[in-house]
Amino acid sequence: MTSPLDALDDRQREAASALRGPVCVLAGAGTGKTRTITHRIAHGVDTGAYSPQRVMAVTFTAKAAGELRGRLRALGVEGVAARTFHAAALAQLNYFWPQVAGDSAPSIVDSKVRLLGQAAGDIGLRLDAATLRDVASQIEWRKVTMRSIETYAADRPTGIPGLAITPLVELQKTYERVKDERRQLDFEDVLLACAGMIESEPRVALAVREQYRHFTVDEFQDVSPVQHRLLELWLGDRHDLCVVGDASQTVYSFAGADPRYLLEFEERYDDVQVVRLERNYRSDAAVLAVANELMRGRPGALRLETPAEPGPAPEVTAFDDDAAEADGVADRVAAQLRAGVEPSTIAVLYRLNAQSAPLLAALAARGIAASVLGGKRFWDLPEVRQALLALRGASVAPLTGSFAATVRDVLRSLGLTDEAPPAGGALRDAWEARAAVLRLAEEAPEGTTLRGFTDELTARAKSQHEPALRTVTLATLHAAKGLEWDHVHLMGLSEGLLPISYATTFEQIDEERRLAYVGITRAARTLSLSWARTSGHRERQRSRFLQEIGTSTVREGGARATRAARPRR
C-alpha cells in the first residue's frame, strides 16, 4: 500500500512526517511547498492522527485555497477546511453572530471607495476617486495592523498626499459611523469582529477550538497582525500548528504583512521542528544563481539548489529608452515564438502597470496576442459567462455528434472562428477566451458528458481554477507571485523603477529587492533582464540590484541595446 510520503524527497518527507506542531517549513521558491503540506495532511489522515473535519488549511487567495482542496481530493482526502483567512472568519461570524447577538450578521460593504465618497460628502469634502482609493488603503492598513484611529493619526502626522491628517481622521470616523448606521462591515472588519467574538465569548472560543484541532498556514510570511491574532485565538493554548513560508518572498509589507512572524517563529516555541526546503524543482541552475546572488546575506534567505547542469547565463540588456526596451523585449518574444515556444509559457514582468502599455503596442505590432494579469478574472469575462450559459442550455438536448464537436458548434454560434482575429484588440481577447473553453472540452476525459462538462466549468469558476490562455502573459511583479513560466523577461531594472522611486528607507529598498527576487524565480528555463537609459526626458541609472548580482552570474547583451536595432514600422 502506497503512502503519501512515497512521492516526496527527503526534506519534504521530513516535513510531512512531522504531524504534531509546532512545525515551521521554510520553503524556497519552486521547492514543492504545496505538495509538501497537502501530503502532510493526507499522511495525517491516513495514519489516523487527523480527522479531516478537524483540520484547517489557511492560505491567502481563493485560487490557492481551491488548489489545496483539489490536491487533497486527488490524494483521497475530503472534508478539510481549506480557506482564506477571510473566508474562514466570515463563516464563523455568520454562524455565531445570531447565537451571540440574537440577529443576523451585518452585511458586507461592497465598495469601500463608494461609501467613503458618501462619508466625504457628509462632512463637506470634495475628493477625487484616486484620493478616495488612497484613503481606503489607509483604512485597510490601519485595521490589519490593529491600530485605532487615534494611534493611526499619531503614526501619520502629515496625513497623505492631498489630504491633511485632521480631515483624514474626520473622514475615517465618519466612514465608520455611516457603516455602523447601515449595519455593515468592511473586509477588514470581518477579521476584527471574528477575533473580538472569540476573545469575548468563551462559548464561541470553545466551539471553534473543538471544531479545529490542526492548523496549517501557507505563505506565513504574508500574515498581518490581525490575521496572526485571529490564528492565536483559533489555537488557544495548543501548539498544533504548521506554518510554511519564505521570508524572501514578503512583498506585501505595504498592506500589513509582517515577515517577523515567520522569522521569529522558532523563538516562540521550545519544541518547534524546523525544516528547510531548498531543492528547487522549477528553475534552471543559471536562474537560481542569479536569485541566490541577489538575496545573499538577507535575513531568512534560503540557498536554492538544483542537481541539473546550468543552461546559458541570463542576459542583461540596456536599451536607449522605454520605447526601445518595449521593442527589444517584443523582438525577443517574437524570436521565441518563431522557434516553436508555446505563448502561454512566456511572461514579461515589470514593476508598474503603466509599463504594460508600450509593451502591448509593441507585441500587437508583431501580431503577438498578450493577456495582462490583474484584469478581469477569466470566469467573469462576459464571453465566458455567455459560453457557460449556452453550453448549459445545450446540455438538456440530446447530442447529435461527439461531445467536443457539440461544444465547438456552440462556441462557433457565439463567435468563435477557425482563424484568430488580429492581436491587440477586444475581438482577439474574446476569441482567446472562447478558444480556452474549447481546449478544456478537447482535453476532457473520454466519456465526459456536456452536463458533466458544464458542472466542471462551474466548479472551476468557484475555485478560480483558470485555464491557460495561449497568449503571452504580462504581469506586475506583485501579480506574478505564486506563478511560473518557462521563459521570463524582467524589464525596467533601473533606479526609480526597481527599486521604485518612493522606496527610500532600508526596509522599503529590501521589499523592492524581494520583488525582484520573486520576478527572477518565476522563470523555469530562461531569463532575460533589461533596463532603459532614459524615460521621457529623465535619465536613468542601472538598478542597484543588477550591481549586487554582479557579472559572475549574468552576461551583458549589447547587440540589442542601440536604437538602430529597433524594427521599422
Instruction: Write out the binding residues.
Output: 27-34
| Rounded Cα–Cα distance for residues 15 and 2 (Å) | 18
CA pair distance 279, 14, nearest whole angstrom: 14
Give me 135's grid cell: 484613503
- For residue 425 the three cell numbers come to 484588440
Q: Is the C-alpha dihedral spanning 196, 197, 202, 206 positive or negative?
A: negative
- Name the residue with cell 482575429: 421
CB neighbours of 365 closer than 8 A, spacing ≥ 6?
Answer: 330, 424, 569
Q: Measure the CA–CA gap between 141 and 546, rounded to whole angstroms.
A: 31
Rounded CA Rg of the chain: 25
Q: Are 34 and 68 in contact (CB under 8 A)?
A: yes
Contacts of 331 (CB under 8 A, 6+ apart): 366, 560, 565, 567
Burial 49-66 (b: 16+ CB within 10 A, else e): ebebebbbbbbbebbbbb
First to last CA, the chain: 64
| Beta strands across the sheet bearing 241-245 | 81-84, 55-59, 214-217, 241-245, 23-27, 273-277
The residues, any chain, with a CB within 8 Å of residue 514's CB and separated by 6 or more, are 248, 249, 250, 251, 295
Detail the residues annotated as belonging to a binding site for ATP. 27-34
Quote the CA–CA distance of 382 and 323 in Å, as a whole number.
Answer: 33
Pairing mode of beta strands 273-277, 346-350: unpaired
Cα Dmax for the chain:
74
For the residues of 494-557, what is the DSSP string, one character each?
Answer: BTBBTTBTT--SHHHHHHHHHHHHHHHTTEEEEEEEEEEEEETTEE--B-HHHHHH-SSS-EEE
How far is 280 from 297, CA to CA, in rounded Å?
Answer: 19
User: What is the total residue count of the chain?
Assistant: 569
Contacts of 313 by beta carbon, 8 Å cutoff, 6+ apart: 286, 289, 553, 554, 555
